[in-house]
Structure 1
Amino acid sequence: MSETARTADKPPRKPPGLRERMRATVRAEVVEVAHRLFTEQGFDRTTVDQIAAEVGLSRASLFRYFGTKEDIVLGRLEESGRQIAEALAARPDDEQPWEALRRAFDVLTRMNEAAPEQALRYLRMLQETPSLRARHYEKQLSWQELLVPEVARRLGISPDRPEDTRPSALAAAALACLDVAATGWVACEGTVPLAVLLDRAMSALRE
């Protein structure tokens, strides 16, 4: 199926309403303030009350936007997962699934290259905070669920066949490579580009 045909099959996306836009604006402000405090004080030493006070919200109001303090840190990952899935779907149809997955991850490598110090601080916080590591794993499982249908399509199989584990295996392996590359990137203090580390990790499984 051509890119034009795939695009034509999709119904036009309804623009967000005023309430949704206002909610997104408040969420973005909370995330920005929280990340600054986390960087200055550390995740565990930063309280929800501090974050709420800086943004001008009550504690109860903040929890209407984010269920937990961890969600403030990891909220960006939901959007990242959607962006990766969209990038994967946009890759050429004749591209092999493994290569298409690698290229879809360019969404993340480009963001990290744009602000490497900020990205390193963020990843280091994820790796050094046990509660965040656990929630990060949960978020990546949701990424896998987003990627599997497109991987299955590229393999020419139905995503509704749980007995065929190839799509899940490819998506899970690609995400594991992404984690390994991110860990190495933090360990080397960003001296080697994340994209290079990711290429190395994913090439090792291709060989």
Structure 2
Amino acid sequence: MSAATRSSTRDIARAAVRAELTRVAFELFRRDGFDKVTLDDLASAAGVSRSTFLRYFGTKEDAVLAAFDGSERRLADALRARPADEDDWTALRRAMDTVIARYHEDPAGSLATTRLVRDTPALCARNLEKQYTWRPSLAAALAGRAGDDQPTLAQSVRAAAALDCLNVALDHWLASDGALDLVALLDDAFDALASR
């Protein structure tokens, strides 16, 4: 077996274990409440040691927020792939489709995850902290589309505003218990700023 095959097999196995730990954690948090579940509870429920759990996730928050891993990269890649003649705001809105795609694939699961994150102060704060790190990537993608080396102030503001539009749309979607259409909410949020 080659080193590349071993590495690939390890990566696949690691991803499977990580996904299972995330699933177990999410179920415990939904059932018992995020604050009541300890790392020892998570490890025990997953049938692993505490140290094994911590090898995959440094915190309880990370176990839930792993559902959003890769979103920054996918969003920036989608933004760079938008047509060159498309304005920044439209490109940002269309790129957001990559982030909300999972809401279409699993509406009930996405609603439950969003509710857990929004209703748990530690998770909400950590999620917003992670999203804050997306801003430079989005601004850089906008700069790249314009042929610039560094993002302008306007590009940085647009990137930040786009993420805020996403969060406001998610809040309204959550408040409707998933009854409102998330795509329409996101469109409306972007339109509210575009019309100014």
| TM-score, structure 2 normalization | 0.90
Q: Secondary structure at the match of 2:82?
A: coil
Corresponding residue to 1:171 among 143, 159, 163: 159
**What residue ranges of structure 1 are gaps of 5+ in the alignment?**
1-13
Alignment equivalent of 1:44, drawn from 35, 38, 42:
35
Q: CA deviation at 1:166?
A: 1.6
Deviation at 1:153, TM superposition (A): 1.9
TM-score under structure 1 length normalisation: 0.86
Residue 140 (str. 1) matches residue 131 (str. 2): yes
Gaps (5+ residues) in structure 2?
none
CA RMSD after TM alignment:
1.7
Contact 1:96–1:154, Cα closer than 8 Å, also in 2: no
The one-letter code of the counterpart of 1:55 is A
Give the Cα separation in 2 of the matches to 1:111 and 1:20: 23
Post-superposition offset of 1:173: 0.4
- Picking from 167, 183, 188, the partner of 1:195 is 183
TM-aligned CA deviation for residue 189 of structure 1: 1.1
Q: Is 2:83 the partner of 1:82? A: no
Tell me if the contact between 1:102 and 1:174 (Cα under 8 Å) persists in the aligned partners: yes
Aligned residue runs from structure 1 range 44-123, under 5 A? 44-123=35-114
Paired residues of 1:87 and 1:107 also in contact (CA < 8 A): yes
Distance 1:109 1:135 in 2: 19
Provide the rounded CA distance (Å) in 2 between the counterparts of 1:57 and 1:50. Answer: 10
Report the secondary structure of 2:34's partner residue.
Answer: coil
- The alignment-based identity, stated in percent, is 43
In structure 2, what is the Cα distance between the partners aligned to 1:99 and 1:18?
A: 40
Corresponding residue pairs, total: 191
In the superposition, relative to structure 1, how do residues 145 and 78 fare at CA in structure 2: closer, same or farther (>3 Å)? farther
Q: Which amino acid aligns with 1:171?
A: A
Task: Give, as a single letter, the amino acid of the residue that structure 2 aligns with 1:141.
Answer: Y
Give the Cα–Cα distance (whole angstroms) in 1 for the partners of residues 159 and 166 of structure 2.
11
Q: Which residue of 2 aligns with 1:8?
A: none
